[in-house]
Amino acid sequence: MPPTPPTPVPPSTERPDTRHPELDRYASEALVHAFVDDQFEAVRAVQAAAPALARAVEAALPRIQAGGRLLYVGAGTSGRLGLLDSVELYPTFSWPPERAKALLAGGPPALYRAVEGAEDDADMGARDLHSLKPTPQDVVLCIAASGATPYVMGALHAAKAIGSLTLGFANNEGAPVAEQADVGVTLNTGPEVISGSTRLKAGTAQKIALNTFSSSLMVKLHKVYGNLMVDVKATNAKLRRRSVALTVTATGRSEAEATAAVDAADGSVKCAILMLRHGLDAHSAAQALARVDGSLRKALGE
């Protein structure tokens, strides 16, 4: 009689959390504490992955400086988090939307509800990536809590064949998406309070990791002066007020002077700061920034 094959060991994100076998019996306060306290594991997982995130930033920087794009790929929660990170780069850093694209298994309808079978289609992942016409300068962020989602793996293999830089984000050790990417980022968050619900701390860890990666990259690209987000795009009244406040902070000038400078610079905080600090007009300030790849610190001679 042939031996019985071993039972496959589920990934850690799919295993029941042994700390909470009676979760459905908890009083409300204990229930809330169970969810909130477990989120600290997400922070610890990203802290452990910090060296890998730093490698990802260093590997991505020259490609992006050469004109490459950030292309995010994911399914379900992972895909929605990738999309969120991509769209927030424009208002925060004036990063061109055409240089931050996100692919979600199942397309736009999957933003609101699961599209049956979409995440299991590796060929679709490859096709969707090819639709963006990737180049070797592009950076492809492949995000999967399990680390083996076929849609994401299909996009990963297609990106590697083209020569794009691939970054693999997973929440399980030894996951294919992290091991086969050029730089793997493993966010080992372990079992969820609700077994398998990776929208919980696994999703939180992904959000932190993606924020950390993209924000670090933007700092390296001179989108920040000190710790001021001086490339903010004032797309609403709140961000317009922030633009003026940033200019006041960086120059020590009055709100009225800062407002006038921001208006004259067509909303550019960098130009407004340079105008007030060096007595330049808006055109001259823009030219000075262009000569130093947008580095306000260099334009100020610091």
Asked if 239 and 262 touch (Cβ cutoff 8 Å), the reply is: no
Cα gap 171→189, rounded to integer Å:
6
Q: Residue 2: left if φ>0, alpha if ψ -120 to 50, beta else—which one?
A: beta
Asked if 62 and 221 touch (Cβ cutoff 8 Å), the reply is: no
Determine whether 257 is an active site residue: no
Determine whether 116 is an active site residue: no
Q: Which DSSP helix (H) or strand (E) runs through 52?
A: helix 50-65
Dihedral in degrees, nearest 10, Cα atoms 226, 286, 89, 109 = 170
- Closest alpha carbon to 221 in 55, 67, 9: 67
- Catalytic residue, chosen from 88, 179, 255, 257, is 88
- Catalytic residue, chosen from 14, 22, 116, 119, is 119
- Burial of 263 from C-beta contacts in 10 A (0-12 / 13-18 / 19+): middle
Q: Could you list the active site residues?
A: 88, 119
